[in-house]
Amino acid sequence: AYSGHGTHIATIAGGSYVPNTSYKGLARGTVRGGAPRARIAVYKTCWYHDGLEAYICSSADILKAIDEAIHDGVDIMSLSLGYEPLFQETDVRDGISTGAFHAVLNGITVVCAAGNAGP
């Protein structure tokens, strides 16, 4: 996982019911994700590159993951891929757009994060 971000988001979306929880003794109750009975499928698309000390996300890996998710019959696809392309002349969003379009054609709702590196 990229700094645990994917795990965190998966828990928000589909975390199971956990009774008797609180925050520092306050707000005691049951905590759960937005859709606690959801089944979550995870597809790895980014790999840590020691020499660059950064995660690299290739269009080929992203498209392969989208194809696998389509084949697996997912209903919703969340793409949280906030990163800089390896080379500035390479715009991986084209691959994401193509893959997302194919997913939509297969009846899948696609959500893409805008990222945290805005102007």
DSSP H or E stretch at residue 26? strand 26-31
Indicate whether this model's pTM tops 0.75: no
- Looking only at the bridges linking them, the beta strands covering 18-23 and 26-31 are antiparallel
Alpha helix stretches (DSSP H) within 27-107:
59-72, 93-105
Contact assessment for residue 108 and residue 75, using Cβ atoms and an 8 Å cutoff: yes
The 8-class DSSP code of residue 77 comes to E
Banded pLDDT at 93 (limits 50, 70, 90): low
pLDDT for residue 118 = 56
Both tokens of 66, joined, read 């989208």
